[in-house]
Structure 1
């Protein structure tokens, strides 16, 4: 066969190397995948940015688009990025830029956008030719010191320009704003966090390199999403922080409100991260149409970009709000889970990182930036000092320098002559002297040069100390991080809700005293105790709760947010609720129906509440008791340990006989004297030891004799005569009269008697409505059925005998009467009058009325004999 190949063709054919196509595809695919992983899809662990985001910010910085500069068209920025640094589609660049400006997509926006940048309802942004942008202050902080050779630069795609391989960020951007991306064979999904918490975590790591992830979580508590919401359970978050992989369950935030008509509404104020509000509403509508959600009558999305999220759902009259809420969490995106996958580029390779590794990589990077910045500043300072030194030499030989320059025919000759003059000048100094302006030769300018040189020498010494001292460099990092926190830090947006089997949420709740109010119709709320200000006795008071006409505040007391409340109902049931779980409300708001918080039957209601610090304290629950009393005078004592195991359905605390109901419950140490008072004005005192301890299901025994029709027990107090000697008995009548009486004026008798007179009941005073034990250091809060509440100092209430009618404590409007009274543990120092628009009166004299004085010495003894055990 004739060979027609030409000599050159034969040579090319001989250079063809046969290879295995399988091996070639593997190699090519690996090269491609690494290019996608490193150059497109995954963020760098140091500045937390992907190449496209880094190039956008760098291009804007080069265009001088700082936060205080005018906006420029987005198309101008996209064109700059495409033409110089990022040879990909303009849509990809614009979409990345838009996302950095959307405050519902990024926790701390890096772009300040002007124009239509879309919405949380899924609306897209306007075209790039319509919108404008510039950098935010935080973006500028990420580029700060980039001109000081703090990071490496590399050639762009056509080798015509240089671009940074990483930004010298002061912001822990990867943790703060998170990142997500899909590469080849791997993906990343990193959650955003609160800047202040992350900064605290970084500082804690700098102070202790051996810190554990658990200890870091004392600072970096959990992800913090830009749209708020509530993290439901921490196990998945802990897994993500320890191992780089986990799961976050996020719920939207909602509350139940009541319309003036009495119908309830569920109002969603925050939706989970990246949930489309319109899609959520459409999904709820579909579930209602499919009869899966049957309690919702109407839904309306009232959200907007200015006022935020507001989705209103009107409930049907027979719907139970808690049931509907649980169905919303189960069937809709109101509860969503996010997979934590902390994958980032570390030293050119993808790596799964724990919380500690993420922080350590950032801190190490900041250390490198500070070191390189200090080296640059030292070089520049030394260059400047070298020139200033030349200036000073020239000024010391000014006449000779001038003569030498005048004698030189060219600048180069003048420079050589200066170098060779024997004054120790080099070429750099000589050139600077030749460029020196004549005005710098004046005496004043010479002093300025000398001062600048001295300052530079101090700076050089300081910079050399930084380079030689690693501890000093880390102190600089901490200082700069604290500046970042002070400048950009904010409060957490996403709440944390721990599950029952997890660590107590009390660790995350600020401990403070709050006022708990429960209305007659069963609405409950908590309000900061500081909202109620002390007034002088006899003042008119301020509104303590907005209620419907037939409703009024029935229970009002103070508790710590870390405590647990035991609720006792009139049918003798006991329920548990943590104080922090009670919805917070304004002082004049109505609150939330207690049936939405506790599983109380519709025909039952709360009658007494006990505040317990810690039900897990074995010593405390074994040595304390719950004393219960009913309106018919029955008394019962049960060990607190019998109530130490909360159940969602409640437990039976006392067996109530027909026609009776539970009135009061008190926590005692077993050594108290018990006092019970009747609305007709009688009271009895007997030792707690007279009431034997019984189980939760017992009926109890007779405490005080209730003989006449219409008589009923209005209150019970328990006072330890040994440890509470400073306490007095305060009684208040329904028309606002009250007084304090020493406990010793009530003689100790057996339980079951009729008791003795505690207040003189007249038409002027009205019947007795309450009895409490108080100390002079405490405050008293009185609530009327109209909602008026007054706070006064106990010391301002006069101390009088048992048989007096007392003095006026609060002026009662026609048709109104006192509904509840409670004591506060801390007395305010300053007495503040009522708010503008409410009447306040001066202190009345603590005088005893003529009607009461005639009975001053009267002591009834009819009920001193022991009554039979019930």
Structure 2
């Protein structure tokens, strides 16, 4: 019994998958290098040519065109064909459209086109250049899918479409991505290739400057573009085009006029709105899309005082207004996918044009010689018209007449038949002259056609003339601007002056940034000026001076750290409430910012000292906190019912002074606190009595001639020399720092000061006073201090900070400090 031989399944699968892959690559996803078209686009154009649907004809229903395409040449779904047809008619998708559409063909906002039964199409004038001479045997034809018709394997295009309109497609194991270019530049490059066939890619780059997207924008040339043109792969940065406009009532607006290629405008507007709401893009008061048929116009109104360049930089940084276009110049060359550079892409097109011109010339020569042959017979017949007429009249049948003509005058069969078919009107003298003129003209054409085929210089000149005509007729100005400088992102800090600012944070989490210049220095005991407008149940928690370029480390009561730059804090007026910290940081329930630290750099020889409410201290290297995650990071491990109250930047030779609410203080060297990791809890800094809590930590250099300014709840303060606080071991009970009474209230904080410093104090009734430290005399530890600020009713000091004024401090010292009663 015979058995069927087995089949190796692995080999069979390899073969089948390879055939499928080649089918997808060549028959669907990757364009031909010669006409730059995928099969579906080629069939759409050829079907319209067969319908006579040219640019000078009445448009036909899209459904009619789609029906012809899928019925005759493209056995796929009508949706795929119509989508391809629609894209060829979209001015924002094609650099030079190949379809002239009437009706709704979608929008740059992503709106879909109307159904094919509603829209009408015809080929554009440029599309006619793709199909010219197709009836002159210029390209090979092949059977369609059911062998009932023939379709062209490639179009005899005069247009370098692969680079002109670009393409994108994903096949099996490969993809292509080529951007649009400018037709005038491509024609100039082709003309140069005609003159200098040995030119290099860099020579051609003098003509082809870069992509030319239909949506405009900026393209930044550089190594990425050079790599793309020399190797076929590379990436270029693309940016939208923005303008700054002055509003009628003052203020400025940013107007987006052009967007990157293939970007959905509606999605861009939504992205910008989201980022504005999330405070990623700050300084925008209103966002409007005023685009119409005249072009794109997206308007962002800016707050007064906002720096437009900063907002523009944020738009480029956080939105698709700046994107990358990755070149991958793969096309089908000789039924094989091939990676091309700029020269090879243009070379293959030139070779195609050369072949088309030769084949067209051969066809024209053949037709001209055949016509000249007939005219030669007619000329002889007219010269001997009487004999020819007599011969024909003497013949009994047409075949006999043809045979006698061929015998008598040596006519060919074709010539003899032409004479028999000649109408009597051709016997007039005028018609005789026309035949002679046509014959002479044909002889000249035949000579020209032969010269094209025999002389390479004449052939090149013919190709050169066609390219020049194409440029003169269809080239349009460049839409995308090429920037020659390498793209480097705008550094926000280069645009923001490193001015001194005041950062205020309320207990309920409202934060703002204000210029220090709005606070003018006053004399001690003054009433102050109006400050932050908080709610009735809110008070200022942190009030510190820094500069725009410094880091803000925001430590929460739960021991977590978040990191921002000072200029990222929203700016507000002196009386403004500010923005809620929750808009800037991801805080958990019942979590709030306990302290804010300002630093410029995270040096390894610098340390952060953490102090908790229950008297625990911890020292950790600043370098451990250089990078913060979006969700923050653990800065210190806290014990039960303990909270972080402050963090200070310190060095090895520092002394630590912890002060408590009940007026005690302890001074010990930093060396008593060994460095620890981020997640540790630390060691005991002071032994607290009763319900006493640590309220402040003062860091002074070892041996420094420093003073400690302590501030009480009711606006009293005292300045005491650091040497009056004896050095103790860490963990002791401390010494008296401030005599607290109902008149003074408890101590709310302390800091190191000098005569050149100034103090800014904020009260609970939103008054701000700025005084010189030199106005407060130094006194002993066990005193109540002097009144620093006068307050009405039940008001109290909510926050304070020191300003280093140096030589610019206002001189003046009161003659006597009167202790509190």
Give the TM-score of the pair, scaled to structure 1: 0.55
Q: CA deviation at 1:498?
A: 2.9
Query: What corresponds to 2:345 in structure 1?
Result: 358
- Check whether the contact 2:237–2:487 (CA below 8 A) recurs between aligned residues: no
For residues 444 and 499 of structure 1, do their structure 2 counterparts lie closer, same or farther at Cα, with a shift above 3 Å needed? closer
Deviation at 1:17, TM superposition (A): 2.7
**Partner SS for 2:198:** coil
Verify: 1:488 aligned to 2:488, yes or no.
Answer: no
1:587-602 equivalences in 2 (<5 Å): none
Alpha-carbon separation, structure 2, partners of 1:172 and 1:435? 46
Alpha-carbon contact 2:220-2:483 (below 8 Å) kept: yes
Is 1:398 the counterpart of 2:385? The answer is: yes
1:573-592 equivalence runs, <5 A: none
Q: CA deviation at 1:391?
A: 0.6
CA shift digits 1:373-407 (9 cap, x unpaired):
11111101000000001111211222222222223
**Quick check: 1:456 aligned with 2:456?**
no
Matched, 1:329 2:322: no
Which position in structure 2 is the counterpart of 1:224? 212
- Offset of residue 194 of structure 1: 0.3
Displacement, 1:347? Answer: 0.8
1:295 matches 2:283: yes
Q: Which residue of 1 aligns with 2:234?
A: 246
Q: Which residue of 1 is the match for residue 455 of structure 2?
A: 469
User: Which runs of structure 2 are paired with 1:624-663 in the superposition (5 Å)?
Assistant: none
Take 2:368 and 2:453, find their aligned partners in 1: how far apart are those partners? Answer: 14
1:203 to 191, 198, 201: 191
> For residues 436 and 96 of structure 2, what CA distance do their matches in structure 1 show?
46
Residues 824-843 of structure 1: per-residue CA shift (max 9 Å, x gap): xxxxxxxxxxxxxxxxxxxx
Instruction: Identify the residue that residue 684 of structure 1 maps to in structure 2.
Output: none
Q: Which residue of 2 aligns with 1:607?
A: none
2:370 aligned with 1:383 = yes
What RMSD over aligned residues (CA atoms) do the two structures have, in Å? 1.3
Q: Report the 3-state secondary structure (helix = DSSP H, G, I; strand = E; otherwise coil) of the residue aligned with 1:68.
A: coil
Which one of the candidate residues 258, 265, 286 is aligned to 2:274? 286
Partner residue, 2:361: 374
Describe the SS at the equivalent of 1:148.
Answer: coil
- Aligned residue number for residue 51 of structure 2: 63
CA distance in 2, matches of 1:394, 1:202: 49
Alignment of 1:420 onto 2:407? yes
Shift of 1:501: 8.3
Partners of 1:113 and 1:221 in 2: CA distance: 30
**Cα contact 2:95–2:164 (8 A) shared by 1:** yes
SS at match of 1:83: helix
Q: CA deviation at 1:500?
A: 4.9
1:77: which partner in 2? 65
Number of equivalent positions: 488
Is 2:138–2:156's contact at 8 Å kept on the other side of the alignment? yes
Task: Evaluate the alpha carbon distance shift between residue 333 and residue 343 of structure 1 in structure 2; reply closer, same or farther with a 3 A threshold.
Answer: same
1:311-330 aligned at under 5 Å gives the runs 311-330=298-317
> 1:497 — aligned with what?
483
How far apart in 2 are the matches of 1:135 and 1:299? 39
> In structure 2, what is the equivalent of residue 28 of structure 1?
16
C-alpha separation between the residues in 1 aligned to 2:415 and 2:197? 47
Q: Provide the secondary structure at the position in 1 that maps to 2:135.
A: helix
Corresponding position of 1:694:
none
> Structure 1 residue 196: deviation in Å?
0.3
Question: Hey, what's the Cα distance between the residues in 2 that align with 1:501 and 1:40?
Answer: 36
Match of 2:433 in 1: 447
- TM normalised by structure 2 equals 0.59
Which position in structure 2 is the counterpart of 1:844? none
**CA shift at 1:19, angstroms?**
1.4
Partner residue of 2:527?
A: none
Counterpart in the other structure of 1:41: 29
Distance, in Å, in 2 between the alignment partners of 1:348 and 1:92 is 23
Please tell me whether Structure 1 or Structure 2 has the larger radius of gyration of its CA atoms: 2
**Which residue of structure 2 aligns with residue 430 of structure 1?**
416
* CA–CA distance in structure 2, aligned partners of residues 500 and 142 of structure 1: 37
Quote how far apart the aligned CAs of 1:287 are: 0.7
Q: Distance in 2 between matches of 1:501 and 1:249?
A: 8
Q: Within 2, Cα distance between the matches of 1:170 and 1:149?
A: 15
The whole-number CA distance in structure 2 between the counterparts of 1:283 and 1:17 is 63
> What per-residue deviation string (whole Å, max 9, x for no partner) do you get for residues 315-339 of structure 1?
1123211111111101101011111
2:5 & 2:43 partners in 1: Cα distance? Answer: 40
Match of 1:625 in 2: none
Equivalent residues of 2:210, 2:221 under 8 A apart: no
2:265 corresponds to 1:307: no
Distance across 1 between alignment mates of 2:177 and 2:52 = 32
Shift of the alpha carbon at 1:446?
1.0
1:686-725 aligned within 5 A: none
Distance 1:149 1:233 in 2: 42
Describe the SS at the equivalent of 1:456: helix
Residue 135 of structure 1 is matched in structure 2 by 123
Unaligned runs of 5+ in 2: 489-821
Contact kept, 8 Å, 2:222 with 2:486, in 1: the verdict is no
Q: State how far apart, in whole Å, the 1-side matches of 2:461 and 2:437 are.
A: 29
Tell me if structure 1 keeps the 8 A contact 2:286–2:302.
yes
- Whether 1:94 and 2:97 are equivalent positions in the alignment is no
Determine the C-alpha separation between the residues in 2 that align with 1:88 and 1:182: 17
* Residue aligning to 1:346: 333
Structure 1 distance, partners of 2:214, 2:223, is: 21
The answer for unaligned runs of 5 or more in structure 1 is 1-9, 503-870
Offset at residue 142 of structure 1 (A): 1.1
Q: After superposition, give the CA deviation of every residue in 1:563-614 in whole Å (9 maximum; x if it has no partner).
A: xxxxxxxxxxxxxxxxxxxxxxxxxxxxxxxxxxxxxxxxxxxxxxxxxxxx
1:653-802 alignment runs, 5 A limit = none
CA distance in 2: counterparts of 1:501 and 1:54, whole angstroms: 38
Would you say the 8 A contact 2:220–2:487 is kept in 1?
Answer: no
SS of the residue 1:471 aligns to: helix
Candidates 100, 104, 115, aligned match of 1:112: 100
In the TM superposition, what whole-angstrom CA distance separates every residue of 1:795-825 from its partner, at most 9, and x where no partner exists? xxxxxxxxxxxxxxxxxxxxxxxxxxxxxxx
Measured in 2, the distance between the counterparts of 1:319 and 1:20 equals 72
Shift, 1:23, TM fit: 0.9
